[in-house]
A and B are shown apart, each in its own frame.
Chain A
Amino acid sequence: MSESKTRSPGTQTNDGSKKMLIAMVGIGVVCALLIVFTYEGTFGRIEMLKAEALEQAVFKVLPGITKTGIFELTSEGKFIPSDGKDRTKTLVYAGYDDQNTLKGIAIEAKGQGYADILKVLYGYDPASQSIVGFYVLESKETPGLGDKIEKDENFLSNFNGLSVALSEDFKTVINKVIPVKFGTKENSWEVEGITGATISTRAIGNIMGESTATMIPLIYQQQESFAFAPNAPTK
Chain B
Amino acid sequence: MSPELKNIALKDAPSSTDEFIKGLWRENPVFVQVIGMCPVLAVSNSAENALAMGLATAFVLVMSNVLISSLRNFIPKQVRIATYILIIATFVTMVDYAIQAISVDLHKSLGAFISLIVVNCMILSRAEAFASKNTVSKSAIDGLGMGFGFVFALFCLGSVREILGNGSIFGFPIFPESYQEWIIMILPAGGFFTLAFWLLIFNHYKLKKAKS
Contact = CB atoms under 8 A, between A and B. Distances in A.
Are A and B direct contacts in the complex by CB distance below 8 Å? yes
6 contacts: A35-B94, A42-B100, A42-B101, A50-B104, A143-B165, A143-B183
Q: Give the bracket for the number of chain B residues in contact with chain A.
A: 20 to 34
Interface size class of A (residues with CB under 8 A): 20 to 34
Given A35-B93, A46-B101, A49-B101, A23 B181 contact: no
Contacts of A144: 165-166, 181, 183, 186
B83 A27 contact: yes
Given A38-B97, A46-B100, A142-B187, A27 B76 contact: no
Contacts of B183: 142-145
Interface string A94-109: 0000000000000000
A170 interface: no
Contact of B98 (A19, A20, A38, A142): A38
Nearest to A43: B97
A87 interface: no
A143 B189 CA distance: 13
B45 interface: yes
A28 B83 CA distance: 8
Interface string A3-39: 0010001000000100110011001100110110011
Interface of A: 1, 5, 9, 16, 19-20, 23-24, 27-28, 31-32, 34-35, 38-39, 41-42, 45-46, 49-50, 53, 142-145
Contacts of B187: 142-143
Contact of A23 (B75, B90, B98, B105): B75
A20 B86 contact: no
Contacts of B1: none
B99 to A, nearest CB: 9
A144 B162 CA distance: 12
